[in-house]
Amino acid sequence: MNSPAPVAAGRSRAGRPTREQARARAEELLDCALEVFLDRGYDHATIDGIAATTGMAKRTIYVLYADKEALFRAAVQRAIDRWVVPVDELRALDTGDLEETLIAVASARLQTAVSPDGVRLQRILNAEAYRFPELSRTAYEQGTRPVVRFIAEVLARHAAAGSIAITDPELLGTSFLSLVIGGPAHGVLWGAVLDNDAVADRIRICVRLFLDGARPR
């Protein structure tokens, strides 16, 4: 009696993709869809075009997503998820020294903002803000606001210790991010190439400027 043919590594016995393979394929679909939406715009992007780009059957896409809008929303949400700096990672940057902590947090946030994923996200949000304004709010709530709140928490703790004098930690957290992130992040959107040493110097200068304004008089 012949032995059964071996099952291909990483696939189920019936030849269907494993759960891990299916997840990877779904993520690949969302990444490719985002590129198509960026390249062609929401109006001109089609499920047919996305299917051709991914090599995935159109009917398979429709099993996962009811329509183009659902696919677009899922693709943007995946981009947001990749853009977020987890709060646990932020807490690991808190050394207890305010200047060092602010420099580390600013560097981590800027790194995600100017990464290829971050730039793609900002471009698609800007391009489709008039049609999907809630996606920009989602990006802020999931990506920016937790960083603001963490910075506010750090500032409040140091204010309680007397090293700085502030009255609205969350407002200052927002102002701090705008100060250190805004210029480089906008520059990259317009095609600027950042010099890592220059960016690091800018962050240090901005942090010291910020702290000079926050220290007790």
Residue 10 is assigned to a structural domain of this protein: no
Look at residue 11 and tell me if it is in a domain: no
Residue with tokens 């390249």: 39
Both 156 and 201 in one domain: the answer is: yes
Specify the pLDDT at position 192.
84
Which among 3, 63, 56, 68 has a CA at the least distance from the CA of 28? 56
| Claim to verify: residue 43 and residue 94 sit in the same structural domain | no
Identify whether residues 68 and 101 lie together within a single domain: no
pLDDT of residue 15: 58
- pLDDT attached to residue 16: 73
The C-alpha atoms of residue 86 and residue 146 are separated, in whole angstroms, by 8
Would residue 14 count as lying in a domain? Answer: no
Closest CA to 138 of 81, 184, 94: 81
Domain-located, residue 75: yes
Question: CA 134, CA 136: separation in Å to the nearest integer?
Answer: 5
The last residue of a domain, from among 80, 103, 128: 80
In a domain, 12, yes or no: no
Please identify, among 62, 80, 98, the residue that sits at the C-terminal boundary of a domain. Answer: 80
Report the C-alpha gap between 209 and 84 in whole angstroms. Answer: 26
For residues 146 and 87, is the Cβ–Cβ distance under 8 A? yes
Residue 27 is part of a domain; what is its CATH number?
Answer: 1.10.10.60
Do 144 and 76 lie in one domain? The reply is no
Same domain as 182, residue 146: yes
The number of folded domains in the chain is 2
- In-domain check, residue 154: yes
pLDDT of residue 12: 47
Predicted confidence pLDDT, tens digits, the chain (217 residues): 444 344 344 444 555 778 888 788 899 999 999 999 999 999 999 999 999 999 999 999 999 999 999 999 999 999 999 999 999 999 999 999 999 999 999 999 999 999 888 999 999 999 999 999 999 999 999 999 999 999 999 999 999 999 999 999 999 999 999 999 988 888 888 888 888 899 999 999 999 999 999 998 8
Question: Are 185 and 142 in the same domain?
Answer: yes
CB burial of residue 172 (10 Å; 0-12, 13-18, 19+): buried
Domain assignment of residue 175, given as a range = 84-214
